[in-house]
Amino acid sequence: MRVLLLALRRLGASIPTLLLILAGLFLLLQLAPGDTVDALMAQMGGGDAALAAELRRFYGLDLPVMARLGDYLWRLVRLDLGFSAIYGKPVATVILERLPATLLLMTASLSFAFAAGMALGVLAARRVNRWPDTLISTLGLVFYATPSFWFGLMAIVVFSVHLQWLPAGGFGDVAMGYTGWEAALDIAWHLVLPTLTLGLIFLAIYLRIMRASMLEVLSLDFVRTARAKGLTETRVVARHVLRNALLPMVTLIGLQAGTMLGGSVVVESVFALPGLGRLAYESVVQRDLNTLLGIVFVSALLVIAVNFVVDLLYARLDPRILSGR
Amino acid sequence: MRAWRLYARSPAALLGALLVLAVAAMGLAAPLLYPDDPLGLAGRPLQWPGDNPRFPLGTDPSGRDIAAQIFHGARVSLLIGFAATLIAVAIGIAVGALAGFYGGAADTALMRVTEAFQTLPNFLLLLLLVAVFGSDLRTITVGIGAVSWPPVARLTRAEFLSLRTREFTQAARLQGLGDAHLILREVLPNALPPVLVYASVVMAVSILLESALSFLQLSDPNVPSWGNLIGLGRNVLRTEWFVSAIPGVAILLTILGVSLVGQGLNDALNPRLAGR
Amino acid sequence: MSGPTRRETLLIAGGALAAAPFAASAQETPRRGGVLTVHFATEQRILNPSLQASTGVYIVGGKIQEPMLDLGADGNPTPCLAESWESTPDGKAITFRLRRGVTWHDGKPFTSADVQFTAMEMWKKILNYGTALQQFLTAVDTPDPHTAVFRYERPMPLGLLLRGLTDLGYVSPKHVYETGDIRQNPANTAPVGTGPFRFVQYERGQHIIAERNANYWRPNMPYLDRVVWRVVTDRAAAAAQMEAGQILFSPYSSLTIADMQRLGRDRRFEATTRGNEGNARTNTLEFNFRRPELADLRVRRAVAHALNIPFFIENFLGPFAKAGTGPIPSVAADYYPEGTPQYGFDRALANRLLDEAGHPRGAGGTRFSVRLHPAPWGEDISLFSTFIQQSLAEVGIRVEIVRLDAAGFLRTVYNDHAFDLATGWHQYRSDPAVSTTVWYRSGSPRGAPWTNQWGWADETIDRIIDDAATEVDPAKRKALYADFVRRAQEELAPWMPIEQIFVSVFNRRVRNAGNNPRWASSSWHDTWLAPA
């Protein structure tokens, strides 16, 4: 219960932050050259000045900036994200259409990075300074240094163009008319390369943390005691070490939820995934202010939610935290 | 000196230094080896590496020499990485030091702002800055610096929080020394090593951010940049994949070098952790 | 090599609308059935071509809704929803007799009230370019359900209106649109029409489906059971899907230049400009006269002489482009003038002109520096901007490329005028008066994209443009437009040095493909699929 209260208080504390961000972005985008009607005219392939003026009136772009900002925030209070000029429908609908792909991609990448990073980290720590450790650590460094979009492109060249094992992009093959499990498998198949691409750098980070924490914990007194008590090494690792090493890794997930969304802009662009990251990029380019602010709102909620879960996990992993705070 | 000996003991750290030096040397040698404009029309577009002895790494879709762009690009990447890191570290230290030293309301306010920046995906913010302020080299460098400082601020703040209550700080305070003196002369020098180590991470991330921007064709088109080449190569990926592959390797090696140097510094400056 | 050779393609692209290429597959007996899968490269806000004139809308909406007139294989307007037409001698009243027995997809009859409503409420008020074309339309009279009389305040050349109404004459059902706000009508993304295909579903980011209209007014047509548009925004991925047979047709140059050439050499496919002659465009080089250097005609001519256009086309654009000769492209046979002033590649002459204009080379061989704004649409524009940068460096003009997104580009160039050079596309739409002369006519309101915003006003060209716009005699009109091109080529306010036609990439199973000059936009009522 206390955990919940703590987490809720954090949530409450982040609301002013969120409003600050939204207002800041709103004003920032006013400075950009061109507005959404310019972008619309480009999409239409031309038109005359009277038409542009009419469209500006229609979307309320002829009102003063402060009036529009006030209007926006007031609507936000009533949980109305507004209407997208570019997509011609409510922002909430536009975002909901794109959210599943991004959530799926992020969850898959995080799980992959977490699982693989943990396994490799444990392996490396247990063979510290011997060849498996060297190999794994080197791989980790290389993964860390690889630009994700480049890895994605090269993966397409190798696995899609030359070997033809995996699809080069897209989010499932609609024309095949799959349903149920087949459709799920089809989507999973399409997400293999994007997941690897987005997860790579996080894999490298988790691997490093896991290895370091393992080494640190292995040298602590209670582990030595446990060993001395004659517990087998596997049980020691499973029971004590993992539990302690998980702490920094879980913390990192909370910190990196935002970074990951940024990374998905590029990865979704490489693999032509209909996700939130690409929507964000498109709405910047198309000056679709309502959609952009909506995405920021949703992604901030997402980050806050992830941190909420992290807090809960924290409490489970380390009961001392409650008394410590 | 001791730190240097510790640094030199690690082969990985030496390799890192070697890589960074090699990239720097490429950048320095570029005007000598390729005195012509690297963006100038050099020959038929999309010649494969090895096809034409004049272009050992081939030509890009605009008929420009890829080798020349790789050499000149080394300069751009290092420059952007270095300058953006400087900006990020400066902002980060300023915010972190003030928050950590004064605590209380100042701390709360500054950390709120830091949190706000961290809630927002930094790449998204960078895209926005580029859309608003344009994409010339200077804007991009400042933009990258402006979105990369929050972790530095957090780190500095944590160091300051633990150092401000230490004896030497208290002693200086009792001598009646001003806040500026305390921050700049007493606490900061002790807080600096971990921040400097972290700067290598910021530099690696800065280079990655610039290349990601230019991959989306949003970076400065008037400078030879590795990311620009990768982006250009995307249109011909299925057939002339070398256009994207070659600059990617250059980025990979540079970032690898920078991170190895960072790790070496970390081990050398925090000797108690060395050998881990 | 199995595809058309470079020379052949050039002939097809460049020649007048010869009937020969359209006759090729007419001998075979069409088969009923099959699904035509089409590459849909950019997501659209609306699909109704009465409200938005763009290729992205025509490729879908053009199969569901129909225009007043279509273009025939010979390139001339042919009846579609309008069966016949006549103009009064003063050009102020044009009468259309409408086709009888046509029904909307929801079963209601098509009448002159629909034409009246669409013309007054959509073409005149909302449709881009339609608003300009119908600016002087005062009323549409409907003496009976099958007659519509268009009344104009000023003389309307019949040829201009007929050509205009192929792209800008799609009719929408009045009973669907008459209540509520037209811009937010649900039918905008679920169009109701009279065409050969009936709208079924639009799943954003994935696909659009339309099925055969069994009650279509052309007997026994269409041949296809369904049309499925697959949303593939990544151009390289679309090429892969063509190779896998998942997409049978990619319209409007939506693949990369490299892929279009590669697939064109593959015997399973045909990459051609055939069927897009009605959709010609030219690459532009726009000069800002507010820069004193560029206001000097000698400098503009020097720039033109410094660019080796044939070299650029051969090495970068391949067989789908040719050197342009002015604002009216060579495929527009009824207005294209021969013998206008041209500027060949001559670097020495360029240098001499720049010297004469008083811009000697300074430090590092540079005479002066300019900013170049490339429009962010099209791979060719990006390549061309780099080529301009490279070429002008050779004659001592340093070019800094300023890359902006679409909104930023339009605002910076056409509203803020904060550019020196800009390069993009001019789209030629059926008649010079629709979207071409606005590039030259002075007095366009500030901020109107793709118009004369160069800070340049030329009385001669203004007079020619105004005379031609209301000239009802076709021969006199043609002569006036020849004068227009000549003047445009002398002044080079914008220069239009490259001519391109959209490229279609077909799987060869698609038959009757490209059998009219706006085939990709047209209704596909006679398109059929050969067995795999």
- As given in the structure block, the two tokens for residue A237 are 């690792």
Q: In this predicted structure, what is the pLDDT of residue C2?
A: 38
Q: In this predicted structure, what is the pLDDT of residue C299?
A: 96
Distance to chain A for C448, nearest Cα, Å: 5
Neighbour tally for A231: CB within 10 Å: 16
- In the stretch 421-450 of chain C, residues with CB closer than 8 A to chain A read 427, 435, 444-450
H or E stretch covering B190: helix B188-215
Of residues A325 and C332, which shows the higher confidence score?
C332
> CB-based contact (8 Å) between A272 and chain C?
yes
Neighbour tally for B49: CB within 10 Å: 16
A38-42, C48-52, C191-195, C514-518: least confidently modelled range: A38-42
DSSP C414: I
Closest partner residue to C383 (CB to CB) among B39, B62, B239 is: B62
Q: How far is CA A46 from CA A42, A212, C54, C382, in A?
A: 6, 59, 8, 20
Report yes or no: A214 and A125 within 8 Å, Cβ to Cβ: yes
- As given in the structure block, the two tokens for residue C211 are 């099925």
Q: How far from each other are the two terminal CA atoms of chain A, in whole angstroms?
A: 15
Q: How far apart are CA C81 and CA C112, in angstroms?
A: 10
Of the candidates A271, A258, A255, A294, which has an alpha carbon nearest to the alpha carbon of residue A81?
A: A294
As a whole-number percent, the residues of chain C with pLDDT over 90 amount to 62
How do strand C504-507 and strand C425-427 relate by DSSP bridges? unpaired
Q: How far is CA C413 from CA A267, B220, C377, C409, in A?
A: 32, 18, 15, 6
Domain range annotation of chain A = 92-322
Q: In this predicted structure, what is the pLDDT of residue C66?
A: 96
> CB-based contact (8 Å) between C410 and chain A?
yes
Assess whether the previous peptide bond of C432 is cis (omega < 30° from 0).
no
Report yes or no: C222 and C527 within 8 Å, Cβ to Cβ: yes
Question: Nearest 5°: phi and psi at B178?
Answer: -70, 165
Distance to chain A for C249, nearest Cα, Å: 15
How do strand C494-501 and strand C280-287 relate by DSSP bridges? antiparallel
Put simply, the answer to whether B121 touches A262 (Cβ < 8 Å) is yes
How do strand C226-231 and strand C207-212 relate by DSSP bridges? antiparallel
Q: What is chain B's mean pLDDT, rounded?
A: 85
Q: How far apart are CA C501 and CA C43, in angstroms?
A: 22
- As given in the structure block, the two tokens for residue C468 are 């031609």
Distance to chain A for B178, nearest Cα, Å: 32
- In the stretch 303-362 of chain C, residues with CB closer than 8 A to chain A read none
Q: What is the ipTM of this complex?
A: 0.84
DSSP C502: P
Report yes or no: A269 and B216 within 8 Å, Cβ to Cβ: yes
Q: How far apart are CA C493 and CA C444, in angstroms?
A: 15
* pTM beyond cutoff 0.90: no
Residue C22 has pLDDT above 60, yes or no: no
Of residues B175 and A10, which shows the higher confidence score?
B175
Closest partner residue to C405 (CB to CB) among B62, B131, B234 is: B131
**Between helices A148-155 and B226-233, what is the axis angle to 10°?**
30
Q: How far apart are CA C69 and CA A126, in angstroms?
A: 78
Neighbour tally for C92: CB within 10 Å: 17
Distance to chain B for C13, nearest Cα, Å: 24
Shortest CA distance from B203: residue in chain A: A145
C332-389 tens-digit pLDDT = 888 999 989 999 999 999 999 999 999 999 988 999 999 999 998 888 999 999 999 9
Q: How far apart are CA C531 and CA C56, in angstroms?
A: 28
Of residues C15 and A240, which shows the higher confidence score?
A240
Report yes or no: C371 and C287 within 8 Å, Cβ to Cβ: no
Report yes or no: C511 and C529 within 8 Å, Cβ to Cβ: yes
Q: Would you list the DSSP string of A164-216?
A: --S-SS-SS-GGGT--HHHHHHHHHHHHHHHHHHHHHHHHHHHHHHHHHHHHH
Rg of chain A over all Cα atoms, to the nearest angstrom: 24
Residue A174 has pLDDT above 70, yes or no: no
Residue C112 has pLDDT above 70, yes or no: yes
Q: In this predicted structure, what is the pLDDT of residue A3?
A: 67
Contacts of B131 in chain A (CB under 8 A): 29, 32, 284-285
Residue B218 has pLDDT above 90, yes or no: no
Distance to chain B for A145, nearest Cα, Å: 5
Question: What is the greatest pairwise CA distance in chain B?
Answer: 74
Of the candidates C448, C447, C444, C456, which has an alpha carbon nearest to the alpha carbon of residue C495?
A: C456
> CB-based contact (8 Å) between B115 and chain A?
yes
Neighbour tally for C141: CB within 10 Å: 13
Rg of chain B over all Cα atoms, to the nearest angstrom: 22
> CB-based contact (8 Å) between A269 and chain B?
yes
Reported as a pLDDT band with limits 50, 70 and 90, residue C23 is very low
Closest partner residue to B239 (CB to CB) among C262, C391, C393 is: C262
Mutate to test the interface with A, among B77, B120, B130 (most CBs of A within 10 A): B120
Of the candidates C363, C371, C364, C380, which has an alpha carbon nearest to the alpha carbon of residue C316?
A: C380
Of the candidates A170, A167, A187, which has an alpha carbon nearest to the alpha carbon of residue A178?
A: A187
Q: How far apart are CA A81 and CA C239, in angstroms?
A: 37
What is residue C229's three-state secondary structure? strand
Closest partner residue to B248 (CB to CB) among A150, A269, A280 is: A150
Question: Nearest 5°: phi and psi at C215?
Answer: -100, 25
- In the stretch 77-116 of chain A, residues with CB closer than 8 A to chain C read 86-88, 97-98
Q: What is chain A's mean pLDDT, rounded?
A: 79
Q: How far apart are CA B46 and CA C256, in angstroms?
A: 14
Neighbour tally for C246: CB within 10 Å: 18
Q: How far apart are CA C447 and CA C516, in angstroms?
A: 36
- As given in the structure block, the two tokens for residue C202 are 């639009």
Mutate to test the interface with C, among A31, A40, A41 (most CBs of C within 10 A): A41
Closest partner residue to A272 (CB to CB) among C184, C233, C412 is: C233
**Alpha helix (H) residue ranges in C149-268:** 158-167, 174-177, 235-243, 257-264
Superfamily of domain A92-322: MetI-like (1.10.3720.10)
Hey, CA dihedral for C244, C249, C250, C255, is it positive or negative? Answer: positive
Closest partner residue to B215 (CB to CB) among A263, A266, A285 is: A266
Q: In this predicted structure, what is the pLDDT of residue C12?
A: 37
Contacting subunits of B (3+ beta carbon pairs below 8 A): A, C
Q: In this predicted structure, what is the pLDDT of residue A175?
A: 53
Q: In this predicted structure, what is the pLDDT of residue A319?
A: 57
Report yes or no: C520 and C502 within 8 Å, Cβ to Cβ: yes
- As given in the structure block, the two tokens for residue C180 are 């509520």
A93-102, B231-240, C213-222: least confidently modelled range: B231-240
Residue C517 has pLDDT above 70, yes or no: yes
As a whole-number percent, the residues of chain B with pLDDT over 90 amount to 25
How do strand C280-287 and strand A83-84 relate by DSSP bridges? unpaired
Of the candidates C177, C178, C194, which has an alpha carbon nearest to the alpha carbon of residue C186?
A: C177
B90-142 tens-digit pLDDT = 999 999 989 988 888 888 888 888 888 877 778 888 888 888 888 888 999 99
How do strand C269-272 and strand C504-507 relate by DSSP bridges? antiparallel
H or E stretch covering B122: helix B122-133
Q: Which amino acid is at B101?
A: F
Contacting subunits of C (3+ beta carbon pairs below 8 A): A, B
Q: How far apart are CA C361 and CA C349, in angstroms?
A: 15
Q: In this predicted structure, what is the pLDDT of residue C15?
A: 36
Q: How far apart are CA C337 and CA C325, in angstroms?
A: 9
Hey, CA dihedral for A38, A43, A48, A51, is it positive or negative? Answer: negative
Q: How far apart are CA B189 and CA B192, in angstroms?
A: 5
- Using CA atoms in the order C409, C415, C418, C421, what is the torsion angle rounded to 10 degrees? 60
Residue C19 has pLDDT above 60, yes or no: no
Q: What is chain C's mean pLDDT, rounded?
A: 88
Report yes or no: C165 and C67 within 8 Å, Cβ to Cβ: yes
C21 Cβ contact partners less than 8 Å away, ≥ 6 residues apart:
C12, C274, C514
DSSP B182: I
| Mean pLDDT across A29-55 | 78
Neighbour tally for A123: CB within 10 Å: 17
Reported as a pLDDT band with limits 50, 70 and 90, residue C491 is very high
What is residue C531's three-state secondary structure? coil
What is residue C280's three-state secondary structure? strand
Neighbour tally for B103: CB within 10 Å: 14
Q: Which amino acid is at C521?
A: S
Q: How far is CA B75 from CA B243, B251, C398, in A?
A: 19, 12, 21
CA angle C296, C299, C300 (to 5 degrees): 90
Domains contained in chain B, CATH given? 2-34+58-269 (1.10.3720.10)
Reported as a pLDDT band with limits 50, 70 and 90, residue B18 is very high
Domains contained in chain C, CATH given? 6-61+195-276+503-529 (3.40.190.10), 69-176 (3.90.76.10), 278-501 (3.10.105.10)
